[in-house]
Structures are given as C-alpha cells and as structure tokens.
Structure 1
Amino acid sequence: MKRSLSLQEAADPNFRPLVVIELAKDAKEETKEWLIRRIMDKKRDGGAQLLIKPLQENEADHGNIYLVGASKLRLLLGAEAVGLVKEYHDGSMRTFTFTNRKDFKDFSDDQANFLTMAECQYIVKHELENLRAKDEKFIPGSQQSRLYPGKSILRRLLTSGLMVQTFPLHDAEHLKRLGHTWYGTVRLGYQPLDDIRCYFGETIALYFAFLEYFTFALIPMAIIGIPYYLFAWEDYDKYVLFASFNLLWSTAILEVWKRFCAGMAYRWGTLMMKREFEEPRPAFHGVLGSNPVTGREEPVYSSLKRQLRIYLVSVPFVCLCLYLSLYVMMIYFDLELWALAFHQEHQSEMSNLMLFVPSIIYAIVIEIMNRLYRYAVEFLTSWENHRLESSYQNHLILKVLVFNFLNCFASLFYIAFVLHDMKLLRQSLATLLITSQILNQFMEALLPFWLQKRHYKKLKRTMKYLKVDGDLSLVQQVSLEKEMGTYVGTFDDYLELFLQFGYVSLFSCVYPLAAIFAVLNNVTELYSDALKMCRVFKRPFAEPSASIGVWQLAFETMSVISVVTNCALIGMSPQVNSLFQDSKTDLILIVVAVEHALLAMKFIMAFVIPDHPYEIRMKLARMEFESLEALKQKQDYCTTKGYLKFWKMLKAILFPDAFKYK
C-alpha cells in the first residue's frame, strides 16, 4: 500500500495543509480544474493566490478532496489585509503591517510561531469567501449552476451541490494538550482561555469566558438563596429583601464583565481591530458594483428592496408567530384550571402530581416552538440579503430574542401581574427552568457523549481497516474529520444563557433555588461544551471578536426589565401593601418613583464606570497619539519631497544648460 503523507508533510515540503475542500463525487473534471485555477490565480486576476493540492493523487476515493494552504509571504500579506493585531516589540498591541513585520515580537524569517494555525486558517477562509464571479455565466461543467458578476463562488458551489463542505484541519498534538488541561481533569479552577483562543479563535474563547464568569457570578445568588429557601419556603412576605439584592446583582455583574472582557480583548489584539471596511458576507448577492468607500468591486443590492422585505414580510411573520405563542399560552392556562379542578375533586397523590403536568407539557411545547421558529427566521433573515455578517446576526438575534422572550416569560408575567398567584408563579418558574435544563442537557451533554462513543468506534474500524498503528496519517485524519458534526456557532449557547439570566433575574425572588440549578447546569455545560469542541465537532474557523457583540445589549435589556419586574413584585408584597392600606394610588406612585430612581442609578453607574480599565485606556490613547504623529511626519516628508521636486523642475526650466549633461 502506498504510504500516505503525515500532517506535517506533503509532496511539497513547504506546503502546509490548512483547510479541506470536499467536492461532490459527481463533480466534473472541468469544474475541478476551473475551481483550482481560480484559487491559485493571482489577486489582480480575480483569484485567491493560494496553494491547493489533492488529498491523495492516483486514488479514486479521494479525488474529490483538496487541501488548501498558502505560502508564508501570502499569509503575512493576508494578515495585513484582514487587519490582524499582534504584539509589538515594546509590548503594545498594533495592527500588523508587512513593511514593519520585523518590529513585531516573535517574528522570524521562518514564521514558525508568529501566526497561529487558527489565524492562518482564518486568512485562507477570508480569501476563499471573497472569490467572486467576474465574467462567468455559469460554473464550468454545470450549466444549470448560474453565475453572475459578484456572486460568491464557494456559496454557489455549496447551494448547487457541487461542494459538500469546507472546514479547517485539526492539529492533533495541540488538541490533545488542550483537551487534557481543559476537560481532561475535574477541577474548580479557571479554564485555559488563552489556549482556547489560540486554537479556536476569539469568538469561541469569549463565549467560554462569559460562561465561566456568569457561573461564578451566580454563586452569590445561590448562596443567599439556600437559607432563604429553607427558612422562608411558604412566607412570600419576605421576598422583598431578595428582590432588592437581585436589582443590584443584575446591574453589577454586566458592568464588571465589560471591563473584564475589554482586558482579554486587548491582550488578544481584537480590541483595536478595524471593522469599518468589513467584507460582504458570502451569501450576499447583487449586481457587481464598487464600494463607495474602498473602491473595491463587490455586489450591490438596493437598500429599499431589503427594507421592503423586512417590513412587509419578516415583521408580519414575527407578529403572527407572537400571536400564536400567546394563543398556546392561553391553552396552557386552560390546562392549569383543569388540573386544579381535578385535584380539588380527587385530593390524592395522583391528582397532586397532575398539577405539574400542564407546566411540563408547556415547557416542552416552548422548546419545540423555539426551535421551529429559529429555522424559519434563519431562512427569512438570509432572504433579506444583508450585506454584512454583523447586520445579518443582529437582525437574526433580534427576531429570535423577541419570540423567545415572549414564549418563555409571557406566562410568568401573566401569573405574577394578572393572576397575582405567587404559589403558581413559583411552580411554573421551577417547572419551566428545570424542564428546559433537562432537555438542553440531553441535547448538549448526553447526545454529544453518544456521538463521541460512535466516533471512537468509527476511528477503531478505520484504523483496523487501514492497518494503522500510532498516529494517523493526513489521509486518515481528513477521512475521519469530514464525517464529524459541524459546529454551527455560539448562537444557541448564548440564547440558553440569556433565558437562564431571565429566569434568575426576573422572578427568582419567589423561587430562590433558580440560581442553584443554573450553577449546576453551567458547570456541566462547561465540560460538555469543551468535549464537543474537541472531540465531537469539526474544528470551526476562528473568528476575531472584541466582545460578545449584540448579546451584551440583550443581557443589559433583560437587566432593565428585571428592575421593573422586581420593583413591581416589591410593590405587590403584603409587607409593602400594609403600609398603604388607605391609598393604593400613593403605593403605585412610590413604586414607580423608586423604579425610575433605580433605573437612573443603573444608567449613571453604566456611564460613570468606564468600559475599559484605566491601563488599557492609556495604552489606546498612546497608540492613537503615535498614529497621529506618524501621519504628521509622513505628511511633512511628502510636503518636503514635493517642494524639492518642484524646485528641481524650476531650476531645469530656468537653467537648462546646467542640467544638459546630467
């Protein structure tokens, strides 16, 4: 049998495989040759100027799999093009430029440790996604796959079925070390966030950082909730103190997180990355035009058409789904009335258990509706044809959050402020929280564990079939990785934490064990998510991020709602009502005044407390000052050079004989 190449080898010893492209088995040779040529063509000719090779030559089974890499020079130029920020020789973080490459820390001519494998894969992905059609009318070898100027080539290959997938390769040795320190040992310490960032990129590292931070932030709520639950189980008069603490807690943790996040982002070099000239997303389509700012060729799509799609189609669809959610909620309350009547009639253990059945059924229905709605709005948001990935994500998250918030919390608001039934509120909150966590643990812990076991069995069969001892060859590694699941991103993970934050901050004063269940769930989530990333899913492409993005705004909005909710609960408590027996109007006015004062205090705190620590603000200010000084020096140099050139031309005109023989 012909020996396969190892991960560090290829036919060309300078070729380092970074990304895998798998084409369909029925893809024609004409299509393959065209794609290879476009990937290898120079940038000025519309290509990506990358290196590409088949996985294994003279092997029919692997004739549709290609490895993509890049030369060291191409990667350095790509690092400048995408705006990577690296550590300078003086310890500051600066945007990388090729001309000043030797002034950056750890740079060497062999480029051994300067760019991580994740950064190299991000650069290759950026170049592949910006491969766009120019004069082609269709994909060669597939006339039904239409092209037009500006259309993303990889996107068209995927939608036409000519490309199966594209994914970055794992680094087996690095992954093994990371897995051992991350989830291989049970410990109470912190996660190796810097190692996670180096391997998976900043977006995923920030998610795990936020998950860890949020879990630790829940511990004070859990500690206070235990004695409160033990000594005030049926005494609803005592939730005023817990609600008051809830107000301070929900505000403080988000302000502290922003400072903590800024420190990590600066250390990782993403706090200064420029996003003003973000490239169009691969799914964006339109006629080929030019960017009015950069002058680069890119698709152009009418903003009016996009707005019409949003307000005439997407908004009515979301409103219809919200109405359906409220209709299902009313069915749930009918079931609650039926269960209560059944219990009052029979007064048995069975009838007592029946009281929880409507809430359990409703929690399951909520999860099903949330998932179905998610698929629908993903299609709608993609159909709206947003130019930037950030805009697409913002519109998608807004649609999902509005529905999920109403779907998950509308019944609790109705019970608290319409029915005024605190006992039913506690029962419903506990049932919704615990049921949703059980379902999520099944999907995110038990299911990945089963997939890992299945993956190991497939690995053993493959190694036995190929008679492999020791490390896997490159062919075997790619063959195994291409069958692994695809990580779809952090959207669902953040959404779960957002809903969990809502359950804890809005109504946990009537069920103080909510924080304890959240801590237990998140500890399990830390290990299950780490296992999934390392052993179950393909390696995702690294994506630079300076924060958790629009999710920060979502959590802050939830904290504002929690202020209103907890103030209303305090105003409804018998303790407070006993002080205003003569005039309920005075009570309402005082509650509203306190609520506005707390909101004002919250916004003042957000304004007064800087998002960036003092040290980082000084470093950023110094960098801006140095950039302005460098720009002034460049302008002075150009002005002086222009004067000298003008004076030389003037002397040549006035004294032509003096320059005749020069």
Structure 2
Amino acid sequence: MQLGLSFSDSDVSSFTPLVVLELADDTKAEAITWLLNRIRDKQQNGGAELLVNQLLFPAQDDQKSNPNVFVVGSTLQRLLNGAEDVGLFKEFQDGTMRGFTYANRESFKDFNGDGEGFLSDAECQYIIKHGLDTLRAKNEQHVPGYPKLKLYPGKSVVRRLQSKGVLIQYFPLHNKEDLKRLSFSWYKKFKLSFQPLDDIRHYFGEGLALYFGFLEYFTFALVPMALIGIPYYLFDWEDYDKYVLFAVFNLVWSTVFLEVWKRCSATLAYGWGTLSRKKAFEEPRAGFHGALGFNPVTGREEPVYPSSKRQLRIYLVSVPFVLLCLYLSFYVMMVYFDMEFWAINTYHENPNIATSILLFVPSIIYAVVIEIMNLLYRCAAEFLTDWGEPEILLFNFVNCFASLFYIAFVMQNMVLLRQSLATLLITSQILNQVMEAFLPYWLQRRRNKKVHKRMRRLMGDKELPLLGQVQLETEMNTYLGTFDDYLEQFLLFGYVSLFSCVYPLAAVLVVLNNITEVYSDAFKMCHVFKRPFSEPAANIGVWQLAFETMSIIAVVTNCALIGLSPQVKAYFPESDTQLILIVVAIEHVLLAFKFILAFVIPDVPKHIQVKLAKLDFDSLEALKKRMFITSNTCCSLPKQT
C-alpha cells in the first residue's frame, strides 16, 4: 500500500509505511508540527530524515477515531545509510560477514541494482526505530505547546513524549504477505522438523529468532532424558535407590547441554551477522535518561545516570522490596505445608477415593498461588523500577523451588517431593498455556470482531486495507520481550536438572509442554501481539549465565540427593559425617569436571573462529594500506618555505 506525500526538499512522492506512530488525540497542534518536522529534518540538522504522513479516518466516523495516527517510512537511500549507522553485518562476496558500508555496497553478496530487497523488513523497521530513538532535543526549552514538558540538549524526545503520555505508542506494521508465508511454514502444519529460524529472523529479528532457536534446541536436548526417564519411572520407581544413576546422568547432561548450545548460538549469530557486532559504540537506549555527560570512548555528549542515585535506588527500594516479597513467599510456603499435613492426616484417618484426591489439592492450590505471586511481583517490580529482571529472577527461583528444597532436605520425604514436583509442573504448564495463549487469543478475537464491524460500517464498499490494518494493530497487545519466555524455560530447566532424578517423568512433561509452546508462541507472535521491533542479539545474553548457575546448583542438589538415598546410606551405617565428607568431595570433583568440560569445549566452532580471524586480518591489512597511502601523500606534498 502506497501513500502519497509531498516534500518541499525532496522529489519523493510516495513511500511504503513501515512503522505506526500514535499520539494522544488531544495533542497540541504545535507539538505535532514540531515533532513531524524533527522526524522529516535532515540528519545533519539533528532530524531523523524519515518520511511521515497522517492516516485520515472517514469523516462519518461516529466513534471519533484518534486523528493523530501517523505512518512512517523511509527512502531506500536513507535505509542503506542507516544500515551503516547501526552497524549491520551482511554477507560479503567472499562468504564472510562484514559490517555494511554504503561505499562498498556493490561488494556485498545480495546487493543487486539499487539495493531493493537487500534489507529485510525487520532491518528496515529497526533502522527507522533507531532514527526515532536518537531524536534528541537541541536548543528547545520545552515541547512546543507544553511549557511544563521541559527539555535540555541531548534529552530523548521520544522518551519525554512517552513518559508524559503525549506519544501513546509506536510499533512496526505487519507485512501481510510475508506473515502469511511465515505462518504456513511455522505453525499451520504439524511437523517434527526444525523451525524456519532464518524466516523468523528476517521477519522478527535476531533476538526473537534466538529464543525460538533455544526453545527448539532445549526440546530436542530433553529427548534423551525423557527416553531414559520413562523406563526408570515404569520399572524402577518403587525402589528409590535406583535414582542415583539417573542423577549422575542428569549432572553430565546439564553441562553438555549448555556447552553445545553456546556453539549452536554462535553458529546462528555468525550467519545472521550479529556475532561480530560491537556494542561499545552503540547509542544509549532511548529509555535512558539523565544529565548530559561526556563519553570518553566515543567523544560524544550522552545522557548519564549518576552512580550514587543508582545505588540509593537499589538499597532503598529494590532490596527492601525483594526481602518483603521473599518473606511473603516463605509465609505462603508454610501455609502450604500446613494444608499438606492436614490433607495427609485426613487421608490416614479415612482412606477413600475422596481423601486420596484431597492429597493433591494443596499442591494444586500452591501451584496456582505461585503463578499469581510471580505475576504480581513482576507487575510491582516493573512499576517500582525499570531494571527489575535480576530481582524477578531471584523471586521466581525462591517462589518455585523453596518448597521442593524444604521437602527434599529438611523433611527428606521423597514421596511427597515427587508428588509436589509433578503437581507443580502440570499445574504451572496448564496455567501458562491458558494465560499466555488461549486467554490473549480470546480477547484479541473479540477486539478484532469489533474493529471489523466498525470498519465495515465506516468504509462500506470502499477498500482501505491499510486503514483497517492500522486500526486493528493499534488495539493489539504489546509484546513485552522475551524475558517471560526465557523465564519459563529457565524454571522448567530447574525442575528437570534439580529434581528429575526423583521424578523421571519431569523431562517427558517438559518436552510435551515445549512442543505445544512452539506452536502457541508462534501463533501469538503472528496474530495476538503487535509486531515487535527487531532486536539484534549475538546470544541469549544473561540467560546463559542464569542457566549455567542453575546447572551448578543442580550439581550440589543431585549430589545431596544421592547422599540421602538409602542405597548410599547403607554403605555408611555408623558415620553420617563420613558420608557427608564423601558427598562433598564427589560434588567438588564433579564441579571441577564441569568447569574443565566448559573450558575444553570451545564456545565458537573452529570454522567460525577462522572466518573471524580472517576478518580481523583483512581489517588490519586495510588499515595498514590506508596509513601507507596517507604517509606517502604527506611526504609527496611540497614543503612550504
């Protein structure tokens, strides 16, 4: 869909809308004019040099749609220059991945003609987002029309408008044809093959593609655990001594799983051009705000946030809040144990079908309460601070695993541990599917029906597909990023690596969950949420450290469970101290083996290391050549008398 647009300083007459920008319906006219001028202005003047046009709704709109909805696009020249500005890596003619430069555009593999189709939709939208995010105030004292919206040189315009509710939202527009093709190859047909990660990356960007790559890898890696766990559960379960061998296998699996994933992610990231991208010279994020300071690395003025304020915020807000939530978590856990003991006593006093079912009720209620508490804590943490991820991770870990640790090492009741783990896994998976997929889909279908009825009433027989699409997508839910998705996989990994030796079917349940998770997550990304902006990523970030930390905890936990097994205790009938010392020694040996294995297995495959070394060598040779030419030019200049 093309929209007509005229410029006094450009011969561009039309553009393809890529991003939607929505301002509040009561935004002052002078503020709108100022913002649009900044968006259209040349980059050398501090503008974004993008194309923008207002989306006009029919005059007979009885519900008075927001008139301040705009579509943003760009010229191809601006996008190609922007690709260089953001440091995109593309495939060179020799097969290596190199940082794109407009001067050398003809040397890149897929650059044909004027470069049409060289950049994916996700890359184009990311470039536009970068242009909008880096719009910073120049000499304005305040936003025009809003004397109280103060500005200073370097202040993020987008951040300021968003924080005060002037800018409601901005998001990338779906490409219907590309989305239809992706949906068909991704989730519309059941298959046991790999996901189309390259197509996902082209449409949604590297960050989301890496999440689905990890989800797929994690699911396949769990298959050996599941295949071994089924016969263990069927034939050896009643003899609790048998879980020792399964615990040993669990230890090796958790280490190899993470080390091999680092190699897989490096291979994916290199092919996508994100492995070599340097983050040291990126612009500050748009949401970052603070006094203007000097960056000694780039030599530019950038907003900085004082370290003292950050420390005060941590110790006076984050730490007390986390401690309060942990106290509530432990309190709820003790209430759960009281309910559990009551259910057990009731069953022993009157064993029948009803009381046997009652045995599972406390665990189900506790699992539901855990999910509710996790959700409430997430909302509270986001409200109090913009940086709540570490605290959220800590709270979720304690909230989900504290009761299991208590049952295993304080009560030492393996039967209750198995029952609690099974109930927590099954209940949490059902709740996650309902909350993450079915409920948002049902709500979105209701919104879609209302929007379609309204657009048919307004447009009649007229065909205005872009207008209807924008109206529909503005009312979709906003995807908040991969944090919650990784968090769910992190907790599932914890259930498997920590306690699956006493409940071998844990891996089976997680495999079944992840198979449905692939399809539900794919569906919600395509039809429930607004299309998210592409986020370049070379790996899964801090989640790699989180999973590795969990695997270290798993070593300690599984060694302790082995030490508690009757089979092992039988060898030390008179000396618990000797048993503890031997278990601790074995634990240290396994930890040493784990770190040696992590050191021996390279994080980056050899062939990619060679390509990266070749790129560094070529860059060094090019630098030497430029220095040689510059030196000869200076020497050949005539001396002034």
**Normalised TM-score (structure 2):** 0.95
Partner Cα distance (1:562, 1:137) in 2: 56
Q: Deviations over 1:605-628 (max 9, x none)?
A: 100100111100000011011111
Using the TM superposition, give the Cα deviation of residue 600 of structure 1 relative to its aligned residue in structure 2, in angstroms.
0.5
Partner Cα distance (1:308, 1:66) in 2: 40
Using the TM superposition, give the Cα deviation of residue 14 of structure 1 relative to its aligned residue in structure 2, in angstroms.
4.3
Using the TM superposition, give the Cα deviation of residue 567 of structure 1 relative to its aligned residue in structure 2, in angstroms.
0.8
Amino acid at match of 1:48: A
Which of 405, 416, 430 aligns to 1:438? It is 430
Which of 160, 163, 177 aligns to 1:159? It is 163
Partner Cα distance (2:224, 2:461) in 1: 51
Which stretch of the first structure deviates more once superposed, 366-375 or 265-274? Answer: 366-375
Partner Cα distance (1:53, 1:308) in 2: 44
Structure 1 residues 548-559: aligned runs within 5 Å: 548-559=540-551
Change over 3 Å in CA distance of 1:468–1:167 after alignment to 2: farther
Partner Cα distance (2:184, 2:167) in 1: 35
Using the TM superposition, give the Cα deviation of residue 473 of structure 1 relative to its aligned residue in structure 2, in angstroms.
2.3
Aligned to 2:415: 423
Change over 3 Å in CA distance of 1:308–1:416 after alignment to 2: same
Aligned to 1:85: 89
CA contact (8 A) 1:149 1:287 kept: no
Are 1:457 and 2:449 an aligned pair?
A: yes
Amino acid at match of 1:579: Y
Q: Deviations over 1:331-380 (max 9, x none)?
A: 22122222222222222322222222221121111111111111222233
Structure 2 residue matching 1:643: 3-state secondary structure: helix
Aligned to 1:244: 248
Are 1:226 and 2:230 an aligned pair?
A: yes
Structure 1 residues 158-177: aligned runs within 5 Å: 158-177=162-181
Q: Give aligned-pair identity as a percent.
A: 63
Which stretch of the first structure deviates more once superposed, 335-344 or 207-216? Answer: 335-344
Partner Cα distance (2:2, 2:180) in 1: 15
Are 1:351 and 2:360 an aligned pair?
A: no
Structure 1 residue matching 2:103: 3-state secondary structure: coil
Change over 3 Å in CA distance of 1:230–1:120 after alignment to 2: same
CA contact (8 A) 1:84 1:95 kept: yes
Aligned to 1:205: 209
Which stretch of the first structure deviates more once superposed, 409-418 or 369-378? Answer: 369-378
Which stretch of the first structure deviates more once superposed, 481-490 or 580-589? Answer: 580-589
CA contact (8 A) 2:121 2:203 kept: yes
Are 1:187 and 2:177 an aligned pair?
A: no
Aligned to 2:265: 261
Partner Cα distance (1:533, 1:464) in 2: 26
Structure 1 residues 115-514: aligned runs within 5 Å: 115-382=119-386, 392=387, 396-454=388-446, 456-458=448-450, 460-462=452-454, 464-465=456-457, 473-514=465-506
Q: Deviations over 1:496-522 (max 9, x none)?
A: 000000011100111111111111111
Partner Cα distance (1:470, 1:349) in 2: 64
Amino acid at match of 1:482: T
Using the TM superposition, give the Cα deviation of residue 99 of structure 1 relative to its aligned residue in structure 2, in angstroms.
1.4
Amino acid at match of 1:191: Q
Using the TM superposition, give the Cα deviation of residue 150 of structure 1 relative to its aligned residue in structure 2, in angstroms.
2.7
Amino acid at match of 2:34: W
Partner Cα distance (1:226, 1:562) in 2: 21
Partner Cα distance (2:554, 2:529) in 1: 36
Change over 3 Å in CA distance of 1:623–1:446 after alignment to 2: same
Amino acid at match of 1:548: I
Partner Cα distance (1:270, 1:9) in 2: 36
Aligned to 2:606: 614
Amino acid at match of 2:45: D
Are 1:21 and 2:21 an aligned pair?
A: yes
Partner Cα distance (1:67, 1:296) in 2: 31
CA contact (8 A) 1:150 1:285 kept: no
Aligned length: 632
Using the TM superposition, give the Cα deviation of residue 630 of structure 1 relative to its aligned residue in structure 2, in angstroms.
1.0
Which of 628, 639, 649 aligns to 2:639? It is 649
Q: Deviations over 1:80-109 (max 9, x none)?
A: 111000011111110011211111112134
Partner Cα distance (2:477, 2:360) in 1: 36
Partner Cα distance (1:444, 1:225) in 2: 28
CA contact (8 A) 2:90 2:98 kept: yes
Q: Deviations over 1:509-560 (max 9, x none)?
A: 1111111111111111111111111111111101110111100110111111
Structure 2 residue matching 1:289: 3-state secondary structure: strand
Using the TM superposition, give the Cα deviation of residue 456 of structure 1 relative to its aligned residue in structure 2, in angstroms.
4.8
Structure 1 residues 571-582: aligned runs within 5 Å: 571-582=563-574
Aligned to 2:9: none
CA contact (8 A) 2:418 2:503 kept: yes
CA contact (8 A) 1:266 1:272 kept: yes
Partner Cα distance (1:406, 1:326) in 2: 9
Are 1:547 and 2:551 an aligned pair?
A: no
Partner Cα distance (2:4, 2:547) in 1: 47
Partner Cα distance (1:146, 1:173) in 2: 43
Amino acid at match of 1:36: L
Amino acid at match of 2:215: L
Structure 1 residue matching 2:598: 3-state secondary structure: helix
CA contact (8 A) 1:290 1:296 kept: yes
Using the TM superposition, give the Cα deviation of residue 61 of structure 1 relative to its aligned residue in structure 2, in angstroms.
4.7
CA contact (8 A) 2:212 2:518 kept: yes
Aligned to 1:50: 50
Amino acid at match of 1:158: Q
Aligned to 1:591: 583
RMSD value over aligned CA atoms? 1.9
Amino acid at match of 2:105: R
Using the TM superposition, give the Cα deviation of residue 158 of structure 1 relative to its aligned residue in structure 2, in angstroms.
1.7
Amino acid at match of 1:495: L
Using the TM superposition, give the Cα deviation of residue 469 of structure 1 relative to its aligned residue in structure 2, in angstroms.
7.6
CA contact (8 A) 2:201 2:208 kept: yes
CA contact (8 A) 1:55 1:475 kept: yes
Aligned to 1:386: none
CA contact (8 A) 2:182 2:199 kept: yes
Partner Cα distance (1:108, 1:435) in 2: 53
Partner Cα distance (2:155, 2:24) in 1: 20
Change over 3 Å in CA distance of 1:328–1:61 after alignment to 2: closer
Structure 1 residue matching 2:500: 3-state secondary structure: helix
Amino acid at match of 2:465: S
Partner Cα distance (1:429, 1:378) in 2: 29
Structure 2 residue matching 1:649: 3-state secondary structure: coil
Partner Cα distance (2:114, 2:434) in 1: 47
CA contact (8 A) 2:25 2:66 kept: no
Structure 2 residue matching 1:412: 3-state secondary structure: helix
Aligned to 1:96: 100
CA contact (8 A) 2:4 2:15 kept: yes
Partner Cα distance (2:465, 2:300) in 1: 41
Structure 1 residue matching 2:109: 3-state secondary structure: coil
Using the TM superposition, give the Cα deviation of residue 584 of structure 1 relative to its aligned residue in structure 2, in angstroms.
2.0
Partner Cα distance (2:299, 2:39) in 1: 23
Which stretch of the first structure deviates more once superposed, 617-626 or 363-372? Answer: 363-372
CA contact (8 A) 2:2 2:14 kept: no
